[in-house]
Structure 1
């Protein structure tokens, strides 16, 4: 019995360690746009969310620092500058507000949009769970170790997507554009569905927008007239929309309750006698 337990623990550790390699990288890509949203749109009032995201971002970056450096060497600065200038001109034409003319802000927005599909992309990593199930002979290892690891991984990744869009919604509300929130969310869901298709089936990355734009545009153009990719993108859009709507309701309720608790704590603190 003792030998079986030790063997199960070793097997579980092998699965957890093997999965952590791709999970840490994909979580870093999912958390990165959320961290960007803190700067671009709204810094969360909760210190736990703020520091929790930054700590997770750092923890997932460290095992993948060499990969980040390798991809960074492929960056085409000229293309990045050209796209950023186009966004600035678009912003000047549409917004007519001087505070939006920051080159750094628009470049950050470009990065945010390019990396955001990586957050819901974690849902597609369920295919690796199927492979783990086929390789494992222990129901206990799968039930107590592997499946919880996948559930936590997918929850964190998709919750990063939800929080990113909530931050964007707060920003739009402050600018007086509340009527556009739903429409922008639907557009982002659609772009994310396209991004997930390109990432999962065509193996493109977010930075290919800059490093390999020709192949990316050609692939999108060719696939948009094929029924198969359109069907996959549509189903992905429905899944993202439904899951986002559900998790957004829960997240907003929790954030509202947290804010109420904070306000009550402040009232009690102010009313308490000072020594």
Structure 2
């Protein structure tokens, strides 16, 4: 039993060690979205704008987890037993991918809630589309150019130069556009499911209070 656990830990470290770190990076904008968009006050102080900048700098880390499906594909091709693939790789990787994307969905729902509160409800769809575009670009720069969110502060000139070069190059631009379309479609589906579950939960609460 001890040998099996040791092998499982080795397998996790080799192919799935990214999960905790990437989920942490996705959690940062998720947590910030509640402070930025769900707090009682709508006053935008200097601290609010700093947090807003950090929010958007780290937000692409959430949909970035979708691209980590490549780790699952590589792991399944590494010759491990069906039990390890079924009981370790698939559950862990799917959990990370789905959790990261769900944090992205909730973050944008919080953003829409804030826009509604300040009287800008008509711009919710526009803000979502713009966010998808920025995140598609961020995912591309992270996956293919290997930039991190903090590179925007530590090496902004290089990030800007390479980004502009990729946006004016045919192949990178096509990849970014395809990523944007995929992200938009997946977000719309996940948004409907999330809102449906939320409304169902509220309905159950109302019924429970009514019967009590």
Instruction: With the length of structure 1 as denominator, give the TM-score of the two structures.
Output: 0.72
Alignment equivalent of 1:210, drawn from 153, 156, 161: 153
The question of 1:129 aligning with 2:72 is answered: yes
Alignment equivalent of 2:83, drawn from 130, 137, 140: 140
Deviation at 1:178, TM superposition (A): 1.3
The question of 1:32 aligning with 2:28 is answered: yes
Structure 1, gaps ≥5 residues long? 44-97, 270-275
SS at the partner of 1:217?
helix
Q: Deviations over 1:209-243 (max 9, x none)?
A: 11110100110111111111001101111111111
Alignment equivalent of 2:17, drawn from 2, 11, 21: 21
- Show the counterpart of 1:99: 43
The question of 1:219 aligning with 2:162 is answered: yes
Q: Deviations over 1:150-190 (max 9, x none)?
A: 11110000000000001111111111211111111000000
Structure 2, gaps ≥5 residues long? none
- Show the counterpart of 1:150: 93
Deviation at 1:19, TM superposition (A): 4.1
SS at the partner of 1:135?
coil
Deviation at 1:130, TM superposition (A): 2.1
Deviation at 1:264, TM superposition (A): 2.8
- Show the counterpart of 2:128: 185
Instruction: With the length of structure 2 as denominator, give the TM-score of the two structures.
Output: 0.92
CA distance in 2, matches of 1:23, 1:157: 10
Asked if the contact 1:8–1:138 (Cα under 8 Å) also holds between the matched residues in 2, the reply is: no
Q: Deviations over 1:184-204 (max 9, x none)?
A: 100000000000011111111
Larger Cα-atom Rg: 1
Deviation at 1:9, TM superposition (A): 5.7
Asked if the contact 2:16–2:89 (Cα under 8 Å) also holds between the matched residues in 1, the reply is: no
CA distance in 2, matches of 1:114, 1:179: 25
CA distance in 2, matches of 1:173, 1:111: 22
CA distance in 1, matches of 2:187, 2:125: 12
CA distance in 1, matches of 2:60, 2:145: 14
